[in-house]
Amino acid sequence: MMHYFTADNSELVMVTGYSSWENIEKAQERSNELAKQAWPDEKARNEFFKKQSAYYSDMHSDEIYSTLDGAKMLTEKPTKTMVYYVRVSHRAFPQDGTIEEVMALRKEYKENVIDKNKYIQGYYPSSHAWGSDGRDFVEAFVVESLGDLQLSMEENQKLVKDHWPDEAKADAFFEKLEKYETGWHGDFIYRHVPELTK
């Protein structure tokens, strides 16, 4: 994903999914084997990676997130550029809270708002597993355009009213849900590069 509306216009985000922690290491080993197959000549191989590295700075960060239940999967691999709206919130861990409660609340919202929102093509929630901030709760929303991002937010409001027509019940629901977050969040918008998607 490439920067669209974020704090750094040089930002490039690469997301790789693994089925297990062990496969992170195995994937790197396999990539090294495949590189040797693609460029058997060590000099040519080194030259390729040197040329590739010239497009990047030395600064990078690695974050590992665990996927959570409740994804809305894209129905097919995108063939055109999509817009990814990524919201990073900080989780709170209230003493009177439970994993079961927060998961039930998120499930109810996802099934009645996100799943029914015709503009949201994909939704991917995850939480911190390894990285700089253990409070991170990351939600990636996939839409077709910036216009659809705006329409998706308007549609969310409509779907919330449809599911919770009683305003007092809606307030009670969101009050419960919000106790699991600190109130801080960051918004990031990226352009997806379909040619680089596996």
Per domain, the residue ranges of the chain are 20-60, 64-196
DSSP state of 92: -
65 three-state secondary structure: strand
State the pLDDT at residue 57.
Answer: 86
Q: How far apart are CA 154 and CA 194, in angstroms?
A: 27
E-state strands within 28-121? 64-67, 83-91
Residue range 121-144, pLDDT digits in tens? 999 999 999 888 899 999 999 999
State the pLDDT at residue 47.
Answer: 96
Residue range 169-181, pLDDT digits in tens? 999 999 999 999 9
pLDDT over 90 at 75, yes or no: no
5-19, 112-126, 146-160: range with lowest mean pLDDT = 5-19
Phi, psi of 33 (to 5 degrees): -65, -45
State the pLDDT at residue 114.
Answer: 98
CATH architecture of 64-196: 2-Layer Sandwich (3.30)
Q: How far apart are CA 190 and CA 13, in angstroms?
A: 8
Q: How far apart are CA 6 and CA 130, in angstroms?
A: 22
Picking from 88, 114, 85, the residue whose alpha carbon sits closest to that of residue 182 is: 88
Q: How far apart are CA 80 and CA 195, in angstroms?
A: 9
CB 115 within 8 A of CB 57: no
Residue range 16-63, pLDDT digits in tens? 999 998 999 899 999 999 999 999 999 999 999 999 999 988 888 889
- Relative to beta strand 2-5, strand 181-191 is antiparallel
Q: Which amino acid is residue 111, in one-letter code?
A: E
pTM of the model: 0.90
Sheet containing strand 122-130, edge to edge, reads: 2-5, 181-191, 83-91, 136-143, 122-130, 64-67
52-81 average pLDDT score: 90
